Chains A and B, each alone.
Chain A
């Protein structure tokens, strides 16, 4: 039994593997872009905060 057949109990039957795989990849990549943006947001602000407080000393 192939993987596509094994997963055919899911919605979309014999195409379940392909549909869920492509939506899954898209979901992960888009969430990745948001995660990257939020890491950047925190990193930049903490780096600049450090820099400015060093300059004040």
Chain B
């Protein structure tokens, strides 16, 4: 295992591995998203209180979940890059940021659109909504800090520290519905053995969560693969890859 990680830290092996892994993330994403959308939008019954409007949950919850998951990966990869000076970890952190920011934007906008008919307002300065908005700002700060330096090493160092400090926001988002009296409803997955949702509605949600995981995987791999080429443009193997294509 350790040997494999060390091997993966070599840019050339990293490039080849990402290239091989891309279809293994792309096709499961396509299959899961088709099943999840059909189940969620067509087969699942309407909610007895929210009617048809609850169907927004099938994109809102997976994207909100991914907005936090991607941030965690980004901060961890940034930390690994800081501690062990692994350049490929810096690449993973860098390419994750725009993807995570997009998931956050999806979570916020679909939440607002659902809030209009259900709460009667697009936005409230509620703990859950505000902490998720702060997450979006953290992503944007990370991206602009990363672009502010010409030297990718300095950029990775500065932005990784920001990402790690920002980690404190994740438990705040997660527990905001418990700690404060918020308008946002509580978590569906609090008790795995007794979920607060009927299986006909829960299954498509779980499928969509997995679909979004694979979506992040394929996007991160594609972007990381290209980022490695730019960073290693002076090595011989990049030359062979580019000129050979």
B55→A19 contact, CB < 8 A: yes
The size of the chain B interface, using a CB distance under 8 A, is: 32
Contacts A15-B53, A30-B102, A37-B219 given; indicate if A21 touches B113 (C-beta within 8 A): yes
A25→B230 contact, CB < 8 A: no
Min CB distance, B117 to chain A, in Å? 5
Contacts A26-B110, A44-B230 given; indicate if A33 touches B98 (C-beta within 8 A): yes
Say yes or no: is A54 at the interface (Cβ < 8 Å to chain B).
no
Q: Which residues of A contact B243 (CB under 8 A)?
A: 49, 52
B106→A29 contact, CB < 8 A: yes
Say yes or no: is B229 at the interface (Cβ < 8 Å to chain A).
yes
B56→A48 contact, CB < 8 A: no
Say yes or no: is B226 at the interface (Cβ < 8 Å to chain A).
yes
A12→B113 contact, CB < 8 A: no
Min CB distance, B135 to chain A, in Å? 16
Inter-chain CA distance A13–B117, complex, in Å, is: 13
The answer, among A19, A26, A52, for a CB contact under 8 Å with B52, is A19
Say yes or no: is B215 at the interface (Cβ < 8 Å to chain A).
yes
Inter-chain CA distance A21–B113, complex, in Å, is: 8
A15→B52 contact, CB < 8 A: yes
Q: Which residues of B contact A13 (CB under 8 A)?
A: 51-52
Contacts A18-B114, A22-B59, A45-B245 given; indicate if A37 touches B109 (C-beta within 8 A): no
In the complex, the chain A residue whose C-beta lies closest to that of B225 is A41
Inter-chain CA distance A24–B169, complex, in Å, is: 29
Inter-chain CA distance A30–B62, complex, in Å, is: 13
Min CB distance, B199 to chain A, in Å? 22
Interface size class of A (residues with CB under 8 A): 20 to 34
Cβ < 8 Å to B, chain A residues 19-51: 19, 21-23, 25-26, 29-30, 32-34, 36-37, 40-41, 44-45, 48-49, 51
Q: Which residues of A contact B229 (CB under 8 A)?
A: 44-45, 48
B219→A25 contact, CB < 8 A: no
In the complex, the chain B residue whose C-beta lies closest to that of A53 is B243
Inter-chain CA distance A16–B51, complex, in Å, is: 11
Most buried by A among B53, B105, B233: B53
Inter-chain CA distance A18–B222, complex, in Å, is: 32
Inter-chain CA distance A16–B41, complex, in Å, is: 12
Contacts A15-B52, A33-B99 given; indicate if A22 touches B113 (C-beta within 8 A): yes
Say yes or no: is B60 at the interface (Cβ < 8 Å to chain A).
yes
B242→A45 contact, CB < 8 A: yes
A22→B56 contact, CB < 8 A: yes
Closest 5 CB pairs of A and B: A12-B52, A22-B110, A15-B53, A22-B113, A15-B52
